[in-house]
Amino acid sequence: MEKIISIEQLEQVYGQPVERALWKEIDHINPHYRQFIEASPFLILATFGDKGVDCSPKGDPKGFVRVVDEKTIHIPDRRGNNRLDSLRNIVSNPKVGLIFLIPNAGETIRVSGTAEIIIDKALCESFIMKGKPASSVLSVNVEKAYFQCQKAIARSKLWDPSSYIDRGELPTAGQMAQHFSDQRNIEFDGESYDRNYPEHMKKTIY
């Protein structure tokens, strides 16, 4: 099977980038990018550390990401399962990548830069939700930002209800966890987990 193993091969296959794909990239958050980021309720955070690559979803009501200035954005980190994959990576390698999505918008905004994990009490409390402050705040120094066109969202029909599948066609979280617990001889009741999770999430989402 033929593979690409050099930049020269890569450029032969794909050709040169469209010119506007280059000049839309900037080293800061301009007013248009800011408007998009502040309207986004969901982002994907990519990190790379000693144990490899991690991509982590982050979500809250729109406006949860704070554009402090054209070079700085703040992202609250909420309680979770305490694996801390992304945060561990940032401690060892602060380079991050972000993709911001907005329901019913085809474009996405891509940002890359360096991140710090801030635990200042006042800052964490400024991101309070339902009485719970952020566990920490990621402060990202923006090095590159640009908008991605609609093609990926259009191809996937991500926001098109006609493409949605019945959730019942997929394994539940309890079923997936049951599989691994059975392999490890760990006592776990997947059916109870699924039955109780909606109420559990109400109590622990923040």
* CB of 116 closer than 8 Å to CB of 94: yes
Q: 21 pLDDT exceeds 80?
A: no
HSE of 4, CA atoms in CB hemisphere, 13 A:
9
Cα separation of 16 and 127, whole Å?
A: 43
Per-residue pLDDT tens digits for 166-181: 999 999 999 999 999 9
Q: Tens digit of pLDDT for each residue in 79-126? A: 888 999 999 999 999 999 999 999 999 999 999 999 999 999 999 999
Location of structure tokens 């952020």:
134
pTM: 0.92
Q: Which two tokens stand for residue 75?
A: 């992202």
The structural domains of the chain, with segments of one domain joined by +, span: 16-156, 165-204
User: What's the pLDDT at 4?
Assistant: 95
Taking only the tens place, the pLDDT of each residue in 68-91 is 999 999 999 998 889 999 999 999
Which pLDDT score, from 0 to 100, does residue 120 have?
Answer: 97
The pair of three-digit structure tokens given for residue 164, joined into one six-digit string: 């949605």
Domain spanning 16-156: which superfamily? Answer: Electron Transport, Fmn-binding Protein; Chain A (2.30.110.10)
Q: H-helix or E-strand containing 142?
A: strand 136-148
At 137-156, the pLDDT tens digits run 999 999 999 999 999 999 99
Instruction: Look at residue 47 and give its three-state secondary structure.
Output: strand
Closest CA to 113 of 59, 67, 60: 67
The SS3 of residue 116 is strand
